[in-house]
Amino acid sequence: MNTPTAPEAVTSVATAGARTAEVERNTAETKIKVRVNLDGTGKAQLSTGIGFFDHMLDQIARHGLIDLVIDCQGDLHIDGHHTVEDVGITLGQAVAKAVGDKKGIRRYGHAYVPLDEALSRVVIDFSGRPGLVMDVPFTSGMIGTFDSQLTYEFFQGFVNHAFVTLHIDNLKGVNAHHQCETVFKAFARALRGALELDPRSAGVIPSTKGSL
């Protein structure tokens, strides 16, 4: 968690028409710049100071077909907690900004992704309501210099600021690197499906309420 007294300064820019956004978020713990293009080709430029975390963010870009620039200068001399949580928050803010009023999106997305012995399922809903249900029994605490516990913090940060409902289940897995990678790849695929524009529903907000 961020210390409650940490000052937070957020600036963000969304470009009309294009599903892109830029968010800069600065606190006493982290200084983060995120740029997203939801209709990208999967190009990523990532620098968080945690190698395995960069590897996971790369999965979001590649398998979500989202162009992603993430630069984080975090207080890694303490540990990776603030860096990982705050990147989740800032990415959530950027995705929310880029998706705008959600007209024409499919809204729901899901994916099963295997990697050798590991298998994960992720289901997402751009519901407008933050909610995370996650069941990932990691077999190891550390994956390189990445604490596997921070996976939850990343997704909680994302969910709270992208206003999505997210269910994450690791169904099988022995190797923690594989477990984590299947979670991020399935998240990317689910995200891509939910954010895709449905030609049968062009310009329509996919809710009987009329807003999401």
Per CB under 5 A, residues contacting Mn ion are: 181
Nearer to Mn ion, 61 or 89 (CB): 61
Contact 33, 87 (CB under 8 A): no
Q: What span, in angstroms and rounded, lies between the C-alpha atoms of 120 and 112?
A: 6
Nearer to Mn ion, 24 or 58 (CB): 58
Nearest partner of 93 among 26, 160, 5, 187, judged by Cα = 160
**Residue 140 Cβ, how far from Mn ion at the closest point, in Å?**
14
**Residue 52 Cβ, how far from Mn ion at the closest point, in Å?**
8
**Residue 116 Cβ, how far from Mn ion at the closest point, in Å?**
10
CA torsion sign, 177 to 180 to 186 to 191?
Answer: negative
Nearest residue to Mn ion, by Cβ distance, number only: 181
**Residue 172 Cβ, how far from Mn ion at the closest point, in Å?**
16
Neighbours of 17 (CB within 10 A): 7
Nearer to Mn ion, 159 or 180 (CB): 180
Structure tokens at 114: 């295997």
Nearer to Mn ion, 35 or 177 (CB): 177
